[in-house]
Amino acid sequence: MSDVVRLEVADGIGTIVLDRPKMNALDSTMQHRLVEVAEEADQRSDISAVILWGGEKVFAAGADVKEMAEMSYTDMSAHVRLLQRFSRAIAAIGKPTVAAITGFALGGGLELAMCCDFRIVASNAKLGQPEIALGIIPGAGGTQRLPRLVGPAKAKQMVFTGRPVSAQEALSIGLADQVVEPDEVLGAAQAMVAPFVGGPAQALKAAKESIDRGLEVDLQTGLEIEALQFTGLFATKDQKSGMRSFVENGPGKATFEGI
């Protein structure tokens, strides 16, 4: 069913809602839909920022183990491409993104959350990569994104043991950006991204791409990426209006069109 993942848009914010009771287990249907809605959110001009939301009880408790349990090596060699495609699609959204996490974000659920720029976490949430207990490792980016967020030693500890971390520990190691009460998670996520609505969309996209791509290369190459992105913004209307407003009216008064 396509409504297991849907995109809701209000006030310039797109909310990708995971809705597969009871635990939002990420089966292949959800993974395909995540690709579709991520691409839609990226392309729509009426969306300035994106929230990933699993509902009030759980973000996502991982991939659908029942679906994968009897897969052969040949089966998984094809399926793993989908695992990486849905996570890459979320990471490729060229707008600010935040995961609003309640309950559990485990396995594929945590991998999905780590594709976002920010993570707001309920105080009673648990985050982890428990795949080792199944005799496997994370396959949707966990071994790569987790160490980039928390460092290799902390990432190895989490992946080697499968131990979930609390919201407060996630905050202390850099896996979470903010911890709030469970009933405040979605509102906090909306408040975080609201300032981006009506902002310089092309500059935000360039900033995100410069940082994300720069983390994957050496410093000198990263500086070249930044230079190209910086220069390219001088072909946008927002650069002209932003700088003109600064000169004529001072900082913080520009109106942007996102083009």
Spans of all domains in the chain = 2-196, 201-249
Q: Among candidates 98, 94, 18, 102, which has minimal Cα distance to 63?
A: 18
Quickly state the pLDDT bin for 2 (edges 50, 70, 90): low
216-229 average pLDDT score:
96
Contact by Cβ (8 Å): 51, 13: yes
Pairing of strands 104-106, 49-53: unpaired
- Does residue 27 carry a pLDDT above 80? yes
- Does residue 243 carry a pLDDT above 50? yes
Catalytic residue among 111, 216, 248, 257: 111
CA end-to-end distance (rounded Å), the chain? 36
**pLDDT confidence of residue 79:** 86
169 among known catalytic residues: no
pTM of the model: 0.93
**pLDDT confidence of residue 137:** 95
Helix (H, G, I), strand (E, B) or coil at 28: helix
As its CATH architecture, domain 201-249 has Orthogonal Bundle (1.10)
**pLDDT confidence of residue 1:** 47
Quickly state the pLDDT bin for 73 (edges 50, 70, 90): very high
Pairing of strands 126-128, 104-106: parallel
131 among known catalytic residues: yes
228-249 average pLDDT score:
95
Quickly state the pLDDT bin for 78 (edges 50, 70, 90): confident
Q: DSSP assignment, residue 188?
A: H
Q: Distance between CA 86 and CA 80 in Å, rounded? A: 10
CATH 3.90.1150.170 fits 2-196, yes or no: no
3-class secondary structure per residue, 94-148: CCCEEEEECCEEECHHHHHHHCCCEEEEECCCEEECHHHHHCCCCCCCHHHHHHH
Beta-carbon-side half-sphere exposure of residue 49 (alpha carbons within 13 Å): 22
Catalytic residue among 8, 131, 216, 226: 131
Using alpha carbons only, how large is the chain's radius of gyration in Å?
19
Quickly state the pLDDT bin for 252 (edges 50, 70, 90): confident
Give the Å distances, CA to CA, from 103 to 49, 82, 177. 23, 25, 16
User: CA angle, corner 94, sides to 61 and 207, nearest 5?
Assistant: 115
